[in-house]
Structure 1
Amino acid sequence: MTRTARPLPKPRTISSAIALAASLGLAGAAVAQDFNEVAPHGAEVGQTPAFEGQTRAPVLEGDVDLAQEIIVEGLEHPWGLAELPDGRWLVSERPGRLRIITTEGEMSEPIEGLPEVDARDQGGLHEIVVAPDFEESRRIWWTYAEPRGNDENGTAVATGVLSEDETSLEEVERIWQQQPAWASTKHFGARIVFDEDGEHIFVGLGERSDPEPREYAQDPQSTLGKIIRINALTGEAAGAGIEGALPEIWSMGHRNIQGAAMGPDGVLWMNEHGPRGGDELNRIEAGLNYGWPVITYGLEYAGGEVNEGLTAQEGMEQPVYYWDPSPAISGMTFYDGEMFADWQGDALIGGLQSNDIIRLRMEDGQVVGEARHVQGVGRVRQVQVASDGALMLITDEEEGALVRVSLAEEDGDA
């Protein structure tokens, strides 16, 4: 089965996307600066930032017209997105399907050989990454919600080799399992990032959401709410060497990691969902504790404080940046292409609830400005930089899409 790219009747720029969002009644999308002007939920309980610039950074100046092209639509809750060396894209769908999609919109049948997934609620097939030497090895990695029996499940990491005819995965091996398993359908994580040595991977893991398992984010003998570092081929532990902790643990105290990338500074960055408010961007350092659920910005979804309502405690790290109210941040990358010359080194983060791409300007490890682009495009689960410098994103919906975002033409026709 193939599907053909369907260009929009007229490439949408930022302004036209905002108008569309307004016509559809998407809250906060009609005015580009609303994201920075709404009073945060945290104000209800007296929460204040730990330092200047930790939240609600100045709006970045300078408009840019962006054209959007729907490459493929009709994807069922796409979650992972990875570019192959020839410019095609691997896309995962949560029910357990993996496809190859060309920039012309040709879409493969599902690739066979994936293990069984627990696709209830937030579960299913998640992250997809491609080996740095894919042209020779044809190897990929993925994360998924692995069924463990008795309604229990847990995040798992597997690897395999894409067959020469691209119809199946071979040499499939699960190399790591999150422990303990839990009867929950939420907060699996689970982004993968290669270490700079190319031999190890970081995996960001959720804490399974419920009040009881989320406390395990502070348990060094559990991998709920952790970042781990393992050998990419064998799964052998290569963590930070935290005293009394499991050997694969790199950092702890995380809620539900949804985006991850190596920054221009050579350091791992990850973002995670907060409770009701308090989405976080963190610069990850080995052996540190990022606080959840002891400290957090934001409130319980049912209202009221999380635990003691603390936002800071000795021995626990502050987020570099947080959002309140929450845009429900997701996949992230750092821009390093040629199409958007002024964006070099900026962080690009998908917004699920905010239906946009969030761009952060960074200086000396701090956020100094924020912008929102393609507002109203849909629930952006992942955003990547294509080899030509354009942006590719997927929208996590029942009828999700793969969308290309580029500079609008400058001839007045955009």
Structure 2
Amino acid sequence: MIKSQHLLSYIAVALISFGSCTNSTPSTPTSTDTTASASTTTGQALSTASPQLQSAKAAYISYCSGCHGEELEAFTDRKWKHGSSDEDLFKAIKHGYPDEGMPAFDKAFTDEQIKGLVAYIQEGIKQVKQYDFSDENTLAAIQRSEKLSFKLDTVVSGLEVPWGMAFLPNGDMLITERLGILYRLTNDKQLQKISGAPEVLAQGQGGLLDVELHPDFKKNNTVYLSYSAIKKEGTNTLSTTAVMRAQLDGNQLTNHKVIFEALPYARTRHHYGSRLEFGRDGYLYLSVGDRGNHDENPQSLERHPGKVHRIKDDGSIPADNPFVNKAGAVASTYSYGHRNIQGMAIHPKTGDIWTHEHGPRGGDEVNISGKAKNYGWPVISYGINYNGTVLTELTKKEGMEQPLWYWVPSIAPSGMAFVTGNRYKGWENDLMVGSLRFQFLSRLEMNGNKIVKEEKLLKNIGRVRDVKMSPDGYLYVAVEKPGIIYRLVPVQL
């Protein structure tokens, strides 16, 4: 990957949209870039082909689409917590809701520009269309990649936000639903609720998140769940990333124990992480996002957020963890300087723990998690702030790791799996990553430990939340809203 080309492509997008943008000065639109006419008011119906809305669209794509989707798909069928009127949207864009991950754009846009954005969002919502992958004709269609062809098989539908998947020895599947439900999908495709899941704060990016089986599940039936735990402090509701261990007894979880709790709890509702993966060393690796507090959390060894942690299966600390003997340090910390890891997988040959994480606007990264290594957030980054200001001048610094691959603009990666087995000829050992923002499945072609190219598959399938290899040798892809899990079935032409 030629990093400078990725950076230049990002700058080009900003230049087209806003007139000027450099790495050394904030990108603030001028009145001639994205301003609606003085007569335009919020609530006025405009054609999406009008100059005003085309200008607002350019602003939306560059500033907003990373979280809300290129085609405004995140706005459809949503519960408007702060209201959906023009005035409500204007307030949200101008002042933000920082605790919920929505930054303020009062310094990036004039009031007239914000009105233009509101008009574009309101008009665009009416016209949002998604490619219907659940349609029988679409499912029957052959999907072609550079190396092989395949079809989609619908494994289960009717979910909301399927966040994590795990495969039981008998062929059943465990599925976490972010709203707080744990499901078992049986071999005959019966979806059954499992009781005993932890209480979660299903707000923002929080909820019931990942699920992982103990390496000796056949003997001990032990399951691990990561989730956003709740804590009351006066009138405030706080939350954090936690991990619960339990035994699966039929469709019930028993013998619950919270074995990990990230401190401190926070008022924010985003950047929880949180992927789980047992390493070949028998220890549980888990990610905790920076919780939106990049000034204090990622670089501080005295705080849990912004880290990859390594614990024993009962939650105790391995004696060879890198900061066990460092005064004041969180003993479970394995690597630090992370923003929000939502992908984790074991390399099939080396056994290394690979991760990917969200950047801000630009700078999503793929890394190998290394013992005691610092991955730089927020000191170094290939992205900028959501409101267009420069977060850091640095992309490199001594003592901080460089990503193996990064995306500019951000694709909002989630879910991660290496292709194993012999079903997918030509994809062996390649890395599969889901995109929330652009709604595709990314195939990162590997050459040893190097990523040499990217192929985008299943474009417009929906927000891809998780990607997993099953013991049956097939790739499974979980897609949000409508919540569907697909299986990729290779075909011979």
| TM class by smaller structure | 0.7 to 0.9
Match of 1:302 in 2: 387
Indicate yes or no: 2:415 matched with 1:334.
Answer: no
Unaligned runs of 5+ in 1: 1-35, 48-59
Greater share of helix residues, 1 or 2?
A: 2
Once residues 154 and 167 of structure 2 are traced to their aligned partners in structure 1, the CA distance between those partners, rounded to angstroms, is 17
Match of 2:212 in 1: 129
Q: SS at 1:216's partner residue?
A: coil
Q: SS at 1:341's partner residue?
A: coil
Indicate yes or no: 2:250 matched with 1:250.
Answer: no
Match of 2:264 in 1: 180
Once residues 217 and 171 of structure 1 are traced to their aligned partners in structure 2, the CA distance between those partners, rounded to angstroms, is 33
Indicate yes or no: 2:476 matched with 1:392.
Answer: yes
TM-fit CA distance, 1:373:
1.6
Unaligned runs of 5+ in 2: 13-20, 25-143
Q: SS at 2:345's partner residue?
A: strand
Q: SS at 2:466's partner residue?
A: strand
- Whether the 8 Å contact between 1:349 and 1:383 is mirrored in structure 2 is yes
Q: TM-score, normalising length from structure 2? A: 0.69
Once residues 279 and 386 of structure 2 are traced to their aligned partners in structure 1, the CA distance between those partners, rounded to angstroms, is 35
- Whether the 8 Å contact between 1:279 and 1:329 is mirrored in structure 2 is yes
Match of 1:83 in 2: 167
Counterpart of 1:386 in structure 2: which amino acid? S
Once residues 274 and 243 of structure 2 are traced to their aligned partners in structure 1, the CA distance between those partners, rounded to angstroms, is 9
Greater share of strand residues, 1 or 2?
A: 1
TM-fit CA distance, 1:197:
2.3
Deviations 1:120-143 (A, max 9, x none): 111000000112222221111010
Match of 1:226 in 2: 307
TM-fit CA distance, 1:386:
2.0
Match of 1:321 in 2: 405
Match of 2:485 in 1: 402
Match of 1:266 in 2: 351
Indicate yes or no: 2:240 matched with 1:240.
Answer: no
Indicate yes or no: 2:448 matched with 1:367.
Answer: no
Once residues 247 and 86 of structure 1 are traced to their aligned partners in structure 2, the CA distance between those partners, rounded to angstroms, is 37
Deviations 1:17-56 (A, max 9, x none): xxxxxxxxxxxxxxxxxxx999632564359xxxxxxxxx
Cα 1:395–1:214 change in 2 (3 A) is farther
Counterpart of 2:427 in structure 1: which amino acid? W
Counterpart of 1:138 in structure 2: which amino acid? N
Indicate yes or no: 2:9 matched with 1:40.
Answer: yes
- Summarize the alignment of residues 30-69 of structure 1 with structure 2, pairs less than 5 Å apart: 40-42=9-11, 44-46=21-23, 62-69=146-153
- Whether the 8 Å contact between 1:391 and 1:404 is mirrored in structure 2 is yes
- Whether the 8 Å contact between 1:42 and 1:299 is mirrored in structure 2 is no
- Summarize the alignment of residues 1-150 of structure 1 with structure 2, pairs less than 5 Å apart: 40-42=9-11, 44-46=21-23, 62-108=146-192, 110-149=193-232, 150=236
TM-fit CA distance, 1:352:
1.1
Q: Percent identity?
A: 35
Once residues 308 and 366 of structure 2 are traced to their aligned partners in structure 1, the CA distance between those partners, rounded to angstroms, is 14
What RMSD in Å do the two structures reach over aligned CA positions?
Answer: 2.1
Name which one, 1 or 2, has greater alpha-carbon Rg. 2
Cα 1:168–1:386 change in 2 (3 A) is same
- Whether the 8 Å contact between 1:87 and 1:386 is mirrored in structure 2 is no
Deviations 1:360-410 (A, max 9, x none): 12224221121122222211111111223221111123x311111111353
Match of 1:57 in 2: none
Deviations 1:125-162 (A, max 9, x none): 00001122222211110100000112211000111000
- Whether the 8 Å contact between 1:321 and 1:367 is mirrored in structure 2 is yes
Once residues 89 and 261 of structure 1 are traced to their aligned partners in structure 2, the CA distance between those partners, rounded to angstroms, is 18
Once residues 201 and 170 of structure 1 are traced to their aligned partners in structure 2, the CA distance between those partners, rounded to angstroms, is 20
Q: SS at 1:151's partner residue?
A: strand
Match of 2:360 in 1: 275
Match of 1:378 among 462, 465, 488: 462
Once residues 170 and 247 of structure 1 are traced to their aligned partners in structure 2, the CA distance between those partners, rounded to angstroms, is 28
- Whether the 8 Å contact between 1:159 and 1:174 is mirrored in structure 2 is yes
Cα 1:37–1:296 change in 2 (3 A) is closer
Deviations 1:151-195 (A, max 9, x none): 2110001110001xx221011100110011110000000111112
Once residues 201 and 103 of structure 1 are traced to their aligned partners in structure 2, the CA distance between those partners, rounded to angstroms, is 28
- Whether the 8 Å contact between 1:337 and 1:388 is mirrored in structure 2 is no
TM-fit CA distance, 1:103:
4.8
Match of 1:216 among 297, 302, 308: 297
Matched residue count: 355
Q: Which has the higher contact order (CA 8 A, sep 6+)?
A: 1
Once residues 231 and 313 of structure 2 are traced to their aligned partners in structure 1, the CA distance between those partners, rounded to angstroms, is 23
- Could you list the runs of 4 or more consecutive aligned residues of structure 1 that deviate by over 6 angstroms after TM superposition? none
TM-fit CA distance, 1:325:
0.8
